[in-house]
Every structure is written in structure tokens, then in C-alpha cells.
Amino acid sequence: MAAQWARICKSHEYARMKPTLQLDAQGRLRHLLTLEGLSRELLLKILDEAEAHDKALRGADKKQSTLAGRSIINLFFEPSTRTRTTFELAAMRLSADVLNLQVSASSTSKGETLFDTLKTLEAMQADMFVVRHEASGAAHFFAEHAAPGVAILNAGDGRHAHPTQGLLDLFTIRRYKGPADDCFEKLTVAIVGDVLHSRVARSDIHGLRTLGTKEIRVVAPPTLIPAGIADMGVKVFHDLDAGLAGADVVILLRLQKERMLGAFLPSLAEFHRDFGLSKARLARLKPETIVMHPGPINRGVEIGGDVAYGPQSLILQQVSHGIAVRMAVMSMILGAPATERARARRSRR
């Protein structure tokens, strides 16, 4: 009992010292939980690393030995195909051993707590957990309680954060609007749709702000805009045409089809009419405006099918960038820098 109390008191101190939860004493990534609080230098370093991986992935031999012998557990408490697959692929291409666990109904329904699930899987000598959970703060929770040396990579926690999605969005924008790192300073980015429930929107906003984006807008009916979001450094629009005017980048968010139930919206059709990106609407924007979406898309809801596969759409590129970005993050957290690896080899001899 006393030990348990000591643990929660200690984890509480941890949580308040926020940067140290994600970074080690040298400022290197220990976990990736959120983009909030990460420096511009670190974000750009991750993007540069991802560029290198992306280049390598275009060759014939896509496999590297960076994480050979390491094990990564994909721990998904929410159903996911796309994100889990790209994490799995990223890990395999780094030669890590990967285990996929879809926990939605198995152990939690038997009454095992998240803490117990973590400890049980830790005992299997995992080096990293890629975690998705419906509760905001779940990744922080795992990071606070993980054993030293076990890394947590947030693959989405509730409405809070989806940092690798944020990174791949930054990567995509820099690739198509860059290549200079300061390209963000000239950009107006409009994030459109269900901002209230979106962890992607929050991670995008943190990342875009840190990289000095000129203007970040969120565009949605008031029922889908959370209170006080302007404090995150964004402008709020309730009219799509006004929100899109002059935008260089449009990021559309997925609208859960059950949002009519909570009286957020009257109908999908009305949402599409007022907030969907149709071909006609897109035609009114600059031809160099790019369109992004974290997927999976709802055709005819937030995006027209012809827009999704149109020339300005980067939705499929985002998917492949996702693998490179996830490889970058995994190798930066787990793969010790070359110098340290050499030192470790020497001391073993």
C-alpha cells in the first residue's frame, strides 16, 4: 500500500515536470506523447530523419537493421487498421520484432487494469509500446508508470494528441511547400471539421505553431469547436469560405458519422453543404493550395471523392510519409546514436 502511494505521489511530480517526461537529461526523446513542448530543433530533426528514411524506402531494399533484436508492442485499445499497419510496417522495416495486441475487449473486460496490462507486457521484455487508447492522457499514464528504458509512443489518446500524425502532416507540408524549414512562416493553414473531438487537430496546431506558421485557422460549426481553443494560437471560423480564403494548406478532419446523435449536427448532408470540401469550393482557392486528410475519409461528407483523388490532394502521400515519420521516431527513441553504440561495444569487450 505504502509503495503504491509513493508511486502515485512520484508519478504526480513527474507529470508536472512535463518536458522531462518525454525527454531525457540530454534533451533526447525518451517517449513521444505530444508535440506540445517539443522544440523547433527537435521537430525539424525528426523531419530530417524521416526524410532520410523516406529516401531509403524508395530503394529496392527497404529493410534496415537499426532495431534488430528490439521488440515493439502495438497496444491498441481502440480499433485501428491504418495507423496500426503503418506502425507495424515502420517497425518491421527497422528489423524490430513486432507484436500486435488489440485489447479492446479481451483483458479489460476481464477486469485487468491498464496498469496491470502494462506491467504484464513489460515482463515480456518489450522495448517500446505503441499505445492507442480512447482516454485523453492515456499515453502520459503509460509513460509515468513504464519501467525505466521502456518507451511509450503515443498513437492517439482520446482527443488529446496524435503526435506522429502531427509530424507526418508537418513533413508533408514541408515537402510540398518547402524545402526550407522556414516555409511555415509564409503559410496559412486551415484545419476544417470536427476539431472538438480531434487529437489530430491538436497535434497539428502544436507542431505548426512551433514551426512558426503564419496563420492557423480552425473552421467548423460552433458545436464542433472546443472552448478556449484560440488560446492555442488559432483563429476560429464558422464559415468555410471565409476560413479557406487565402489558405495554402487545407487539413480536413474525419467526421464521425454518429455525431448527429449528440445533436452536434443536423445531418451529414448539411455538414457537407456547409463544411465539406467540394470540387467547386476547391476551384475557388489558389491552384497551389494543398489538401490533406488523416484518413479514413468519408466521401461526400468532409470531402468530395473527386477532391480526395484530385491533383491537389496529398492524402495518399501522407500515408506513405507516415511510415517514414514513424521509423524516424522509433529509431530516434530506441536506437542509441552511433557514438554511444560504439562506446557500448568497447565496454563490452
Partner 1 sequence: MTAGPQDWSAARAAPAAGTPPRSLLIRGARVLDPASGHDGIADVGIRDGVVSDIGASLPTDRFEQTIDGRGQWLMPGIVDLCARFREPGQTHKASFASETPAAQVGGITTVILPPDSQPAIDSPATLLRVQRIAAQVGGLDVRVLGALTKGLGGEALAELSALRSAGAVGASQALQPIRDMLVARRALEYAHGLGLTVHVFAQNAALAAGGCAHEGAVATRLGLASIPVAAEVSGIRFWISLVEDTGARIHFCRLSTARGAELVALARERGLPVTADVAAHQLFLTDTDVDGFNALCHVMPPLRSSEDRDALRQAVADGVIGAICSDHQPHEADAKINPFPMTEPGISALETLLPLSLALVHEGVLTALDAAARLSLGPARIAGLDAGTITVGAAADLTLIDPAREWVLRADHLRSAGRHTPFDGRSFRGCASTTLYRGEPVFVG
Provide the 3-class DSSP secondary structure of residue 130. Answer: strand
**Closer residue to partner 1 in complex, CB, 115/309:** 115
Positions that interact with partner 1 (CB under 8 A): 1-2, 4-9, 12, 15-16, 18, 21, 36, 113-115, 133, 135-138, 140-141, 145, 157-161, 199, 202, 226-229, 231-232
Provide the minimum distance between the beta carbon of 92 and partner 1 in the complex, in angstroms, as a whole number. 29
User: Does the N-terminal peptide bond of residue 226 adopt cis geometry, omega within 30 degrees of 0?
Assistant: no
Q: Which residues fall within 8 angstroms of residue 98, CB to CB, at 6 or more apart?
A: 71, 72, 73, 74, 88, 91, 92
- Closer CB to partner 1, 227 or 338, in the complex: 227
Q: Which of 181, 172, 168 is nearest to 314 (CA)?
A: 172
Name which of 225 and 328 has its Cβ closer to partner 1: 225
**Identity of the residue, 5 or 338, whose beta carbon is nearer to partner 1 in the bound complex:** 5
Evaluate the omega torsion of the peptide bond into residue 296 and state whether it is cis, within 30 degrees of 0.
yes
Pick between residue 158 and residue 310 the one whose CB is nearest to partner 1.
Answer: 158
User: Of the candidates 86, 315, 34, 44, which has an alpha carbon nearest to the alpha carbon of residue 202?
Assistant: 34
Choice between 212 and 226, CB closer to partner 1: 226
Q: How far is the CB of 137 from partner 1 (least distance, A)?
A: 4
Cα 213–Cα 214–Cα 215 angle in degrees, nearest 5: 95
Distance CA 114, CA 123 (A): 14
Contact between 72 and 131 (Cβ < 8 Å): no
Amino acid at 1: M
DSSP state of 27: S
Least Å distance, CB 183 to partner 1, is 26
Q: Which is nearer to partner 1, 57 or 118 (CB)?
A: 118
Least distance (Å) between residue 65 CB and partner 1: 35
Backbone angles phi, psi at 82, to 5 degrees: -60, -55
Which distant-in-sequence residues (6+ apart) come within 8 Å of 90 by Cβ?
323, 324, 326, 327, 330
User: What minimum distance in Å lies between the beta carbon of 91 and partner 1?
Assistant: 24
Q: How far is the CB of 316 from partner 1 (least distance, A)?
A: 28
Least separation, in Å, of the C-beta of 298 and partner 1? 21
To the nearest whole angstrom, how small is the minimum distance from the Cβ of residue 16 to partner 1?
A: 5
Cα angle, residue 153 at apex, residues 149 and 156 outer, rounded to 5°: 155
User: Closer CB to partner 1, residue 53 or residue 199?
Assistant: 199
